[in-house]
Structure 1
Amino acid sequence: MSQDTKPPMTLALRELEKHGVELTYHLFAYLEKGGTAHSSKEMGVPEHAVIKTLIMENENKEPLVVLMHGDMQVSTKNLARTLGVKSINPCKPEVADRHSGYQVGGTSPFGTKKKMPVYLEETILQLDKIYINGGKRGFLVGMSPKEVLRILSPTLVQVGIPG
């Protein structure tokens, strides 16, 4: 995206700008079910640095956000054990949309409709720069992972398994 192109103004972007986060903007052609493999290829960055925002829920249907490397999966069994709950499952897309206020494929952890606990895969903090959804399909923002810590105060977890 050239510097002349204005990024889409989303709730996520408003939240990040309110906190003075230094960002890079990355627009790309969205591909239905393309996931982080597609976005990382389009942007020419490692898939490991593209962070997925996953809306999940426990057995009581209480929603939560999990931030995970693009090339890894969440062990829901390990996450449930870590959180001391019976089970964790991904929300159905329409339920995730309702909780987050975003459309699946464009879900950002910033500026969500409903305040939810956030869990961050600990190894994300080892990266210099991450690319995370800016609140719209085909739009990622690049930033330091330390900004995620500062703004969202997530609980650090180790629940990632090879994807």
Structure 2
Amino acid sequence: MTPAINCAEKAKIFYKVHHYEHDKNANSYGEEAAEKLNLPASRVFKTLVVALDSGVLAVAVIPVSNQLSLKAMASAVKTKKVKMADPKAVERSSGYVLGGVSPLGQKRRLHTVIDKQALSFDTIFVSAGRRGLEIELSPNDLAAVLEASFDTLI
């Protein structure tokens, strides 16, 4: 069990855990998950942590097939600018290693925004807190557990 799975369990939401053999040479952890689980990349979401101009961290959850628009994320969190957070700050704040950062079960709950494309699916896949482990759940359940909002981020 990971903190992400424990978080879903504690919230009493429906979820499924999916395992795959992680290749340490994979270029993109999210695309690797989509490929190995035989899923469209649009249904697998990656967790990105950004730093606001105030230095506060926030989380963007977007399809692995897309890139985050920093301008759109700044607008979603109502600030002028955001930049990708320092990897060490991400690991310290989330408690996860890069490539296994889950939006669920982070050490500190951060303001989270989920890309609206998630609402096109009954369930989406996000990291379950470890490379080679994904959790499938409803985007609305994910948003409820995280007190997250939906916005266009790509």
Q: Which moved more, 1:15-24 or 1:46-55?
A: 15-24
How far does residue 83 in structure 1 lie from its aligned partner after superposition?
3.0
Q: Distance in 1 between matches of 2:72 and 2:136?
A: 29
Aligned to 1:49: 43
Structure 2: which 5+ residue stretches go unaligned? none
Structure 1: which 5+ residue stretches go unaligned? 1-8
Aligned amino acid, residue 49 of structure 2: I
- TM (norm. structure 1) is 0.87
Instruction: Note the 1:42-81 alignment, pairs <5 A.
Output: 42-81=36-75
Aligned to 1:4: none
1:157 aligns with 2:139: no
Aligned to 2:89: 95
Aligned amino acid, residue 25 of structure 1: V
Q: Distance in 1 between matches of 2:13 and 2:75?
A: 33
How far does residue 128 in structure 1 lie from its aligned partner after superposition?
1.5
Aligned to 1:28: 20
Aligned amino acid, residue 66 of structure 2: M
> What is the aligned length?
152
Instruction: Report if the CA contact (8 A) 2:2-2:129 is conserved.
Output: yes
Q: Distance in 2 between matches of 1:142 and 1:82?
A: 25
How far does residue 155 in structure 1 lie from its aligned partner after superposition?
1.9
Aligned amino acid, residue 27 of structure 1: H
SS in structure 1 opposite 2:102?
A: coil
How far does residue 119 in structure 1 lie from its aligned partner after superposition?
0.6
SS in structure 1 opposite 2:67?
A: strand
Aligned amino acid, residue 119 of structure 1: V
Identity of aligned residues (%): 24
- TM (norm. structure 2) is 0.92
Higher Cα radius of gyration: 1
